[in-house]
Amino acid sequence: MAGNSFGQALRLTTAGESHGPANVVILDGVPPGIPLSVDDLLLDLDRRRPGQSRIVTQRNESDVPQILAGVFEGATTGTSLALLIPNEDQRSRDYSEVKDLYRPGHADFTYDAKYGRRDYRGGGRSSARETNVRVAAGVVAKKILARECGASVLGYVVQVGDVTAQIPDPAAVTLEQVETLFDGTANIVRCPDHQAAARMISLIETVRTEQDSIGGIAELVAIGVPAGLGEPVFDKLKADLAKALFSLPAVVGVEYGAGFAAAAARGSANNDVFVPVGPGDVPGSSCVRTLTNRHGGMLGGISSGMPIVLRAAVKPTSSLPLAQDTVTKTGQSTSVRTKGRHDPCLLPRFVPIGEAMVALVLADHWLRWKSQRPTQR
C-alpha cells in the first residue's frame, strides 16, 4: 500500500507512532551536493517541538534528529536520505483507560474499522507526532528550492478562534519585506499582527484553563516560485498542495488566492490582469505578470510566477480533559476524559509543518519540471 509515501521526483516515505520508539523518513530524489547537518534540521524542528512555550503541549521532546544515510562529508550524496527522530517522553499509561473507548474527534473508531485493531497510545499513527519527520524532510526541500530556483516558503497564523490578524497582502511585498513582517520568532503564537497575537494568546490561555481547545487559520506563502510548475490535469500544483495540507492531522479546509470569496465575485472583478514586465521580474517568465494575485499564484493548476498564497483551517484539538459522551468498542454508552499533554491550540506548532508540506510539493514539482525542460535552470 502506498499510503505512507508522497511525491514523485522527490518522494518521502514515513513510519512511526506517537508512543513508539521513533519516527523515521526516507527521502528519495534529493540532488547531490546540498549541505545538510543536524543543526540545519533543528532550525525548523525547534519551531515544531513540543514544550517550547506555555501555550503548547508540555510533552518534553528534544526532537534531535539522526541522519542515518544519504549524507557524506556534510552534503547530500544523491542516494536515499534517511532521518530518524527518537521519542523520549512517552506516557503510555495516560491512555490505558481509552483502549476500549472511542474518543470524540479522534481516529479511534475509523482505525478500528480499517484495521480491526489500533495503537491507542496517544493515537498511534494518527497522532501529529509523526509530523516531526515531515518537518525534517521539509528542511531539505527548502534547501533544494533555495539552491535550484531561489524560492522560499513562509507561514504564519492569521486567525485563532474569532481573533483575526490585520496583515498586508503577501502578494504585494518582496520576500525580504515578508520575512520582516512575518517574523515567526516575534511571538509565541507566530502571528505578524502583534496586537492580535496578544489577544490570541489570551484566548488560548483561557480555553486551556477551561479544559477546552480552539482552532484557527494559518497562511502559507511561497515566493520566487518559477512559472510553469504543475501538471495539466490530475497532478495540478493546486491539487498536490491541497493533498499535502489535507494529509496533515486536524486540517479541515484549504483554499488558495481569493479562495471561497471568489464564489461571490463577478468574473470581471476576480480576473487578474496581465501586464508586461522587465526581464527577471517574475521567475520563469521574462515578459508578463499580473497586477493582482486573486489566483494565488496558480492558473490552470500551473504556477504563474506570482506568490503562491494558501490558507489552511485547523480544527480545535480533539483531546480534552472535559468529560464527553461516547461509546465503547462494543457499543455501550459511557463517557471519557482524555488524559495526557495536549495543545490547547494547534496553530503555533502547525506553521512549520504546513511550510514543510508546501516546500516538499514545490521541490517535487521543480525537479519534475526541470526534467521536462532540460534547457532551463
pTM of the model: 0.91
Q: Point out which residues pair with 216 in neighbouring strands.
A: 160, 314
Greatest alpha-carbon span in the chain: 69
- The pLDDT assigned to 282 comes to 53
Angle at 348 (CA atoms; ends 320, 350), nearest 5 degrees: 85
- The pLDDT assigned to 377 comes to 46
Amino acid at residue number 181: L
77 burial class (0-12, 13-18, 19+ CB within 10 angstroms)?
Answer: middle
- The pLDDT assigned to 59 comes to 60
Give the residue extent of every domain in the chain: 89-372
Question: How many other C-beta atoms lie within 10 A of the C-beta of residue 274?
Answer: 12
The CATH class that applies to domain 89-372 reads alpha beta
- The pLDDT assigned to 173 comes to 55
Angle at 361 (CA atoms; ends 42, 24), nearest 5 degrees: 45
The grid cell for 60 is 518534553
> Which residue ranges of the chain lie beneath pLDDT 50?
185, 377
